Amino acid sequence: MDLTNYRTLGKSGLRVSPLTLGTMTFGEEWGWGSSAEDSKAILKSYMQQGGNIIDTANFYTKGHSEKIIGDYLKESGTRRDSMVLSTKFFGNLYPGDPNAGGTSRKNIVNSLENSLRRLRTDYIDLYWMHAFDEFTPIDETMSALNDLVRSGKLRYIAVSDTPAWKVAQAQMLAKFRGWAGFIGLQTEYSLLERTSEGELIPMAQEMGLGVMPWSPLKQGILTGKYNRENNGQRLSWRHAAPDLPEATFVIIDRLKVLAEEKQEAVSAIALAWILAKPGIASIVIGARTMAQLSQNLQSLNVTLTEADINYLDEVSEPILNFPIPFMRAAYHNGMGGVTINGKSSVVPSLLPRHIDEVY
């Protein structure tokens, strides 16, 4: 597999690379990113290898991330239509202005105009609602986004970091009003953060959204650079190493076993595990350096067997919120010991074992 093994995003015809280039590290305004020149070199390498989707947001490095991308595409003479530009609205860049953030019609329009200016384009391919705004009715948000799709300034819309119930509400509202609906869902997902498997990922599969995980390496923890000996020491260019629990090192240990068996980087195994999961369309990878980009791209060469996946699943099993644990137990109550779509059930002791036992 490589970056040209494109996948359609959700219930749409939009083709995207299996690894999306995330650009939160483009720009040094936050004190830990890449210079504009280094960022452009990373962009060039990703695109030369067939990568076609770049993900940013209006507030990344105070808007500089978008500007770096727009400048590079112009300077390099890249054909605009060959790239999928993905950016987000929600973040407030103007302190003290209550209308400069969130998901209101006013902010969506203003944020989009500023993003178009910085990206030096007249349309966005994939526009994300970056987070749930409790103060704005979802029908206002969806109506505004639909108007912008109809105007041609947006090609597709998607949603990030929002409860499953709100996304489902938005999708059904759009469906019944004939509006453009979301085609993608961004959520944190990794071997160290699997709670999205409870409701968000199943909801996305049911509602036609392709899942695009972010923080797939959990801020570098799953690269293998942290171990029991250096736990809590400052290793990162960004922050001190976290004080990690033993359960995390058990997962890292298993990643290292597979990495050694397959002669691959630990991070490549962690990313390959995500790519093998149901519903995943593309993973947002970050890269502050060329070396990090190359290491992340190695994941496309990794093939994990079912046994490999189960080996990692076993030690990373998440604790999910109600009603998921209840549903897993109740499943057997309703299935009567039969197998449906390849999933088997048993007859619980509370239920009759034979028809003669029924009153």
Q: Measuring CA to CA, which residue among 40, 5, 6 is closest to residue 23?
A: 40
User: How far lies 150's CA from each of 36, 102, 136, 144, 244, in Å?
Assistant: 34, 22, 21, 10, 48
**Six token digits for residue 132:** 């749930």
Residues of the chain with pLDDT under 70: 232-242
Going by their DSSP bridges, the two strands 84-89 and 124-129 should be labelled as parallel
Other residues' Cβ atoms within 10 Å of the Cβ of residue 177: 12
Q: Measuring CA to CA, which residue among 77, 57, 54, 53 is closest to residue 65?
A: 57
The residues annotated with a catalytic role in the active site are 60
Q: Look up tokens 């519903």; give the residue.
A: 279
Which domains does the chain possess? 7-315 (3.20.20.100), 322-359 (no CATH)
At 193, is the secondary structure helix, strand, or coil? Answer: strand
- C-alpha dihedral, 57 to 59 to 64 to 70, nearest 10°: 30
User: How far lies 64's CA from each of 117, 214, 274, 275, in Å?
Assistant: 12, 20, 30, 30
Backbone angles phi, psi at 291, to 5 degrees: -60, -40
Distance of alpha carbon 38 from alpha carbon 36, whole angstroms: 6
User: Which amino acid is present at 213?
Assistant: P
Residue 242: the pLDDT is 62
Handedness of CA 210, 53, 41, 239 (dihedral sign): negative
At 319, is the secondary structure helix, strand, or coil? Answer: coil
pLDDT digits (tens, 9 = 90+) for 258-317: 999 999 999 999 999 999 999 999 999 999 999 999 999 999 999 999 999 999 999 999
Contact 210, 281 (CB under 8 A): yes
Other residues' Cβ atoms within 10 Å of the Cβ of residue 206: 12
DSSP conformational letter for 171 = H
